[in-house]
Amino acid sequence: MNVSDSEIVASVLQSSGFGLTHDPLTADVVLLNTCAIRENAEQRVRRRLEFFRSRKRKHNPNLRIGVLGCMAERLRHKLLEQERLVDIVVGPDAYRDLPNLLHQVERSGQSAVNVELSREETYADIAPVRYNSNGISAFVSIMRGCDNMCAFCVVPFTRGRERSRNAGTIVRECQELFDVGYREVTLLGQNVNSYRDGPVDFATLVYRVSLLSPDLRIRYSTSHPKDCSQELLEVHQERSNVCNFIHLPVQHGNSEVLRRMRRGYSSQEYRTLIERARKVCPSVSLSTDIIAGFCGETEEEHQDTLTLLTDIEYDHAFMFIYSERPDTYAARKYNDDVPEDVKKRRLSEIITLQNSISRKKNQQEIGQVHTVLVEGPSKRSDTKFCGRTDTNKMVIFDRGTLKAGDYAQVEIKDCTSATLFGNVLID
Ligand code: SAH
Ligand code: SF4
């Protein structure tokens, strides 16, 4: 989401005459777009800020440093006043104000701040400048904010109220991306299932985008389990270019913990949803998010997460230690009482188990043929290309005469828990 937001920021600044550089050490202005979801995300930003501040002191006193996004929203004046780390602080709904704020800093020599949250801002009319893109796969923001108030989560506080972007502008942006060579769009929101623009709900939006071209793949993130509709599952089944992959963050395997987390579903309801998804799309690939060591989590409750992972067999999972975030329901009402070493041990049990499941699932792919969208050279070798299957698995294969944006038939020959290796079939 921050990658996508930074593309909006680049667009706002470019249309005001600012230029982009890929070398932060030659920049006049450095803006860090930040995440506040866990404490270690914030610590990383602080270290980056220290680095740029020291550069400013030693080499470039005119360097302007800004913090954008969720940390800006959360720490507001603290960054400016107490810590004097930055010249400019701008929250996720105030990016249109950036050129003005930068000029203000130049004129006055004082720092500037805008952390107003909005009920309407969706940046619908702004054409993102995709400065870091591979030219094949693009993020398209379809909504902003979140109203769910999960007990552990800071997002509703830093990104404000949920609002959906106008459907026409989304479809148009996807068409324009296709026209300039993109072959995959990922529709982004914190809870895409609650997307609504008049009569257009999320399933309808995905369906509409899927009609643009059979060669445009559609992915989305993140889908909240409490309102993943039957219609959406049917769109997956009906439209071959709507990828056969769903990220459905469960967070925990125990219903009592899920209730404390205020997720709005029980473990059983979640399992029923997975059964429903697999019934409609039998080969659907699934991934999830897991939090280990949430407030009051007992050993038995933790075991329920391991059981759920074993039962469902996700293809992939993002796994985190619970990190208390100020202002959240959990921070106000519960004790963060699972000791750090216990949290770490539980997380490592979760990771070990999930890695073995991911490896097993990948081994089942050996001998299968997948349609892979070629993304470009692989990180490790110039003679290899990488691309993803419809089911969101990364595959490495010989480059041959392929080019980025092609679809290739690839037979899977080998794997690790994270990557598949294959041979391109020539027809
Ligand atoms: N909107 C998405 C999640 C966005 S945040 C959803 O509801 O599914 C991405 C992930 O970060 C969450 O799914 C959760 O697993 C993790 N996360 C959020 N807050 C956290 C916290 N306080 N500590 C640890 N992990 C957290
Ligand atoms: Fe956070 Fe819950 Fe909203 Fe996801 S749905 S962003 S976890 S409050």
255-299 per-position pLDDT tens digit: 999 999 999 999 999 999 999 999 999 999 999 999 999 999 999
Q: What is the pLDDT of residue 82?
A: 67
Average pLDDT of the segment spanning 201-225: 97
Q: What is the mean pLDDT of the chain?
A: 95
Query: Which atom from ligand 2 is nearest to the alpha carbon of 263?
Result: 2
Find out whether the beta carbon of 115 lies less than 6 Å from any atom of ligand 1: no
- pLDDT for residue 83: 64
Residue 245 pLDDT level (bands cut at 50, 70, 90)? very high
Specify the pLDDT at position 18: 96
Residues 159-188, mean pLDDT to the nearest whole number: 98
What pLDDT is stored for residue 252 in this prediction?
Answer: 98
pLDDT digits (tens, 9 = 90+) for 375-400: 999 988 888 999 999 999 999 999 99
> In the block, which residue shows the tokens 């959906």?
164
Q: What percent of the chain has pLDDT over 90?
A: 90
Is beta strand 285-292 parallel, antiparallel or unpaired with respect to 316-321? parallel
pLDDT at 3 over 90: yes
pLDDT band at 199 (very low <50, low <70, confident <90, very high): very high
**Residue 103: CB atoms within 10 Å:** 12
Measured between alpha carbons, how far is 102 from 90 in angstroms, rounded to an integer? 11
pLDDT of residue 84: 73
What is residue 427's three-state secondary structure? coil
Is residue 39 within 8 Å of 323, Cβ to Cβ? yes
Edge-to-edge strand list for the sheet holding 112-114: 29-34, 64-69, 88-90, 112-114
pLDDT of residue 76: 80
Predicted confidence at residue 240, as pLDDT, reads: 96
Residue in 38, 74, 146 to alter for ligand 2 test, most ligand atoms within 8 A of Cβ: 146
| Proportion of the chain above pLDDT 70, given as a percent | 99
Distance between alpha carbon 244 and the CA centroid of its chain, in Å?
A: 18
| Among 140, 36, 18, 23, residue whose Cα is nearest residue 92 | 36
Q: Dump pLDDT digits (tens) for 72-107.
A: 998 887 887 766 779 999 999 999 999 999 999 999
* Averaged pLDDT, 116-139: 95
What's the gap in Å between 36 CA and the centre of ligand 2? 13
* Whether residue 227 has pLDDT greater than 90: no
State the closest ligand 1 atom to the C-alpha of 321, by its place in the atom list counted from 1: 24
Any residues with Cβ below 6 Å from ligand 2, and which?
146, 148-150, 153, 155-156, 190-191, 224
Q: With contact defined as beta carbons under 8 Å apart, do 291 and 306 qualify? A: no
Q: Is the pLDDT of residue 309 over 90?
A: yes
pLDDT at residue 173, as a whole number: 97
Report residue 24's pLDDT band, with 50, 70 and 90 as the boundaries: confident
338 lines ligand 1 (CB under 6 A): no
Q: Atom 10 (ligand 1): residue with closest C-alpha?
A: 289
Alpha carbon distances (Å) from 269 to 264, 272, 276: 10, 5, 10
Nearest to 85 by CA among 40, 55, 41, 115: 55
- Among all bound ligands, the one having the nearest atom to the CA of 249 is 1
| Per-residue model confidence as pLDDT tens digits over 26-73 | 899 999 999 999 999 889 998 999 999 999 999 999 999 999 999 999
Ligand 2 center to 263 CA (angstroms):
8
Separation of 267 CA from ligand 1 center, angstroms? 17
In the reported structure, the alpha carbon of residue 322 is separated from the centroid of ligand 1 by a whole-number distance in angstroms of: 9
Tell me the helix, strand and coil percentages in the chain, rounded to 5: 40, 20, 40
